[in-house]
Chains A and B, each alone.
Chain A
Amino acid sequence: MKLLSKLFLGALLALHLQGCSDEQDFNQIDDLNIIPTAEASLVFVEIPEDFINDSTDPGFYTQTFIFGAFQEQFFAENVLDGVISYEVENTTSKPLDVTIEFLDTGGNVLDTESFTIDAAPTAILQREITYGTPTGRDISIITNTASIRLTGINLGDNTSVSTLPEPVVLLRSSAKFRIRLK
């Protein structure tokens, strides 16, 4: 009986103290990449045709506003690359030129994207601009952008009125960026 109990205790202790394990490599954690892709809308602009017609200047609209999303510290420090998508829709009776500019904190232009769109009826203009990839634009444009300037130029007259209901020019934009969490 003593022998049995000693064997039992020995087996129990041995199992606990000398448990086996497959070889582990905890340094693999260094190779783990956590890079989600975040997607959201950026800016939406709606300009009715009567606002364009009310302006005697062909440059009927210009506005600069702060855009802090890209300068949020976490985003700016960890963004890798991404795409900004634009859609321009024109249901007015005149051809238009719409320009979006990214400015740094000093007001310097970092990037410009212009859209020239025919008078209605015309298709929705869509464009994707890539940043941070080898063939794309420099990602620093994004991380240094502190404000956005929008400009609208009327390439037609300022008297005609579209036959479409509620004629407007619309700018839609969204961004999709990869962000390194680890």
Chain B
Amino acid sequence: MIRRYIFLLISFWGLCSLYAQNKQLLYDFQEIPQSLMLNPGMKTPYSWHAGIPMLSGIAFQAGTSGLSVNDIFANDGLDINDKVRDRAINGLSIRDEISGVYQIEVLYGGFRGRNNPDNYFSFGIYNEGIGINYWPRDLAVLAFDGNADQLDRRFNLSHLKTRGELLNVFHFGWNRNWNRNLTVGARGKIYSGILNFHSSTNDGYFVTTPGVNNTLASTLISNMQLNTSGLQGIKDVLDDDSIDNVSGVSKIFTKRGFFGGDLGLGLDLGFTYQISSNTYIMGSVLDLGLLYHSGDIRNFTLDGGATIEGIELILPDALADPNADFWQDLVDEIEAFIPFEENNNNYVTFRPTKFYGAIRHNFGQGGPKGEWCDCDYSTNNRENNLNYKNSVGGQIYAINRPRGPQVAVTAFYQRRFGNAVALRGSYTVDKFSLTNIGLAASFQAGPVNFYIMGDNLLGYRNLAASHYASFQFGINIISWHVN
């Protein structure tokens, strides 16, 4: 039984130990079709593309801010209790987090419109798991130190903010060369939620004050809730000895991941605008959407407030009932004022919306054939789009999080070697790292495209001390568009 719960716990910790979601290396990397997923309005130099199922796009990202594995577990001779106290309990703020994401493309493809080659359509399915857990500072202090000798200190319950989900995303995108200068795109998404847990709107406090009658008064004002979807079914499987855990859980994942669970809708929008012969600006908004959680719901609430000063015996009233159970009366009173309740109410969660903005300048041999003009026709093919050696640019990225937007700024340089190889290096600053250097490579062998990219490479000098790491790779078949 315990093993089953550990299995469940590790599964979710696995989700929670991954995150960041910024794919700055992939953004506007036109040689790689997956970049269309980050900007549906990207210039698309393909006639068609097809990802190798389950291998076309695999991405893992993990981030922690304020604390690394090395800070706690380095074999440095220091007492772990001192390290935890100094670096976690007293060192972390409520904005520090452990978070992560993984994404696996199940299916991905695209094709250019037969009647109108200015249109490019893409479609697919991907599986995504995300998790974020902010440091619950006051609750950690309460757990580590307790409330003794902390008169009048309010332990803030709103410090508990956590969220995680597992879902399949079915998408269809439309990309159009509006004119020679402007490319726009949109992608519709249907979310099929598999699992979700969500506790990010908590409020209240616990405080110990001098009592009115007795020495101390303990006050709890709580407005806390945890919403879950899809967890009870898994728990039931793990608790049932007659069902194989792996096949049972797989069956639930498959059913809920293919429209048998929570459903939602989302939208991506993007554009690319050519502001001069070799300079472009791009922007996109991803995952404007929500999920309606309506299946296998189990929510928990702790809502109310009470102040207690222990058992109070005020004579002669306390002797009125010789059978009075003062302790049970006190417990009942607390439970009445602050009921811990469970419900199955449906709930809505909003997707973590992401925003990208970028500028890019191409230089070196090449550039669009012919003179750039502000004219209506377009020649969006490989030769025109990718006929350059170098490009430099900058990006800004933001994602809405439970404690407000997180922002990252990136500068990149890209070098192309004919049509076979494109390499990109990037430097990114965000809350996880000020020294995030990434490298990406795209290789084209005939119709086969292989890409690989890694982030925060300086962190690999000491992985345990790194606050952030990401890794992406994939294989596609591409037919390049030729006018």
The answer to whether A and B belong to the same complex is yes
Are A24 and B73 closer than 8 Å at their CB atoms?
A: yes
| Centre residue among A4, A28, A150, A172 by max chain B CB count within 10 A | A28
- Are B421 and A16 neighbours in the complex by a CB distance under 8 Å? no
Are B454's CB and A172's CB within 8 A?
A: no
How many angstroms from the CA of A45 to the CA of B326 in the assembled complex?
A: 12
CB <8 Å contact, A31 and B215: no
A37-53 interface code vs B (CB 8 A; 1 in, 0 out) = 11111111111100100
Contact among A9, A40, A61, A63 with B441 in the assembled complex (CB-CB below 8 Å): A9
Give the residue among B216, B312, B325 with the most A Cβ atoms within 10 A.
B216
Q: Cβ of A15 and Cβ of B457 under 8 Å apart?
A: yes
Give Cα distance in the complex from A87 to B213, angstroms.
11
A28 to B76, CA, bound (A): 11
Which residue of B is nearest A9, CB measured? B441
Residues of B within 8 A of A11 (CB): 439
* Contact A39–B148 (Cβ < 8 Å): yes
Query: Are B325 and A65 closer than 8 Å at their CB atoms?
Result: yes
| Stretch from B138-146, B177-185, B351-359 that touches the partner | B138-146
Set B69, B216, B326: member contacting A40, Cβ < 8 A? B216
Cβ-neighbour of B327 out of A4, A34, A38, A67 (below 8 A): A67
B402 to chain A, nearest CB (A): 26
Contact at B462–A20, with CB atoms within 8 Å?
A: yes
Check: A143 CB closer than 8 A to any chain B CB.
Answer: no
A166 within 8 A of B: no
B369-408: CB near A (< 8 Å → 1, else 0) gives: 0000000000000000000000000000000000000000
Query: Does B246 reach chain A (CB closer than 8 Å)?
Result: no
Known: A20-B461, A68-B328. A34 touches B218 (CB 8 A): no
Contact call B452/A24, Cβ cutoff below 8 A: no
Identify which of A8, A23, A174 gathers the most chain B CB atoms within 10 Å of its CB: A8
Q: Is B338's CB within 8 Å of the partner chain A?
A: no
Q: Which residues of B contact A150 (CB under 8 A)?
A: 313
Binary CB contact string for chain A from 144 to 182 against chain B (1 if under 8 A, 0 otherwise) = 000000100000000000000000000011101011010
- Across the interface, which residues of A come within 8 angstroms of B218, CB to CB? 40-41
Residues of B79-129 at the interface with A, using a CB-CB cut-off of 8 Å, are: 79-81, 84
Structural contact, A31 and B79, CB atoms closer than 8 A:
yes
Give the residues in chain B near A26, CB-CB below 8 Å. 73
Q: How far is the CA of A23 from the CA of B465 in the complex (A)?
A: 11
Count, chain B residues at interface, CB 8 A: 63
Is B260 interfacial (CB 8 A cutoff)?
no
Question: Are B452 and A12 neighbours in the complex by a CB distance under 8 Å?
Answer: yes
How many angstroms from the CA of A176 to the CA of B208 in the assembled complex? 12
Residue A66, interface by CB 8 Å? yes
Assess whether A173 is in contact with B144, with CB atoms less than 8 Å apart.
no
B423 interface hit (Cβ, 8 Å) = yes
Kindly state whether residue B2 has any CB partner on chain A within 8 Å.
no
Contact with B along A50-85 (1 / 0, CB 8 A): 010000000001010111110000000000000001
Q: Is B339 an interface residue (CB 8 A)?
A: no
Q: Is the CB of A24 within 8 A of B74?
A: yes
> A residues within 8 A CB of B418?
1
Cα distance, A38 to B441, chains bound together (Å): 56
- Given A26-B73, A51-B315, A68-B328: A174 and B143 interface contact (C-beta under 8 Å): no
Which residues from chain B contact A1 at a C-beta distance below 8 Å?
417-418, 420-421
Beta-carbon contacts under 8 Å, A121-143 to B: none
* Contact assessment for A32 and B80 in the assembled complex, using a CB-CB cutoff below 8 Å: yes
Contact check: which of A15, A31, A39 meets B147 at CB < 8 Å? Answer: A39
Instruction: Decide yes or no whether B54 CB sits under 8 A from chain A.
Output: no
Question: Assuming A8-B441, A173-B214, is B327 touching A36 (CB within 8 A)?
Answer: no
**B300, CB-defined interface residue at 8 Å:** no
The 5 A-B pairs with the shortest beta carbon distances in the complex, nearest first, are A36-B146, A19-B460, A41-B310, A37-B148, A44-B214
- Could you list some 21 contacts between A and B, CB below 8 A? A5-B420, A16-B454, A19-B463, A28-B80, A32-B80, A32-B84, A39-B148, A40-B208, A41-B211, A41-B214, A42-B311, A43-B313, A44-B214, A44-B309, A44-B310, A44-B311, A45-B313, A45-B315, A46-B315, A63-B313, A63-B318
Chain B residues engaging chain A, CB cutoff 8 angstroms: 69-70, 72-75, 79-81, 84, 142-149, 208, 211, 213-218, 308-316, 318-319, 324-328, 331, 417-418, 420-421, 423, 439, 441, 443, 452-454, 457, 459-465, 471
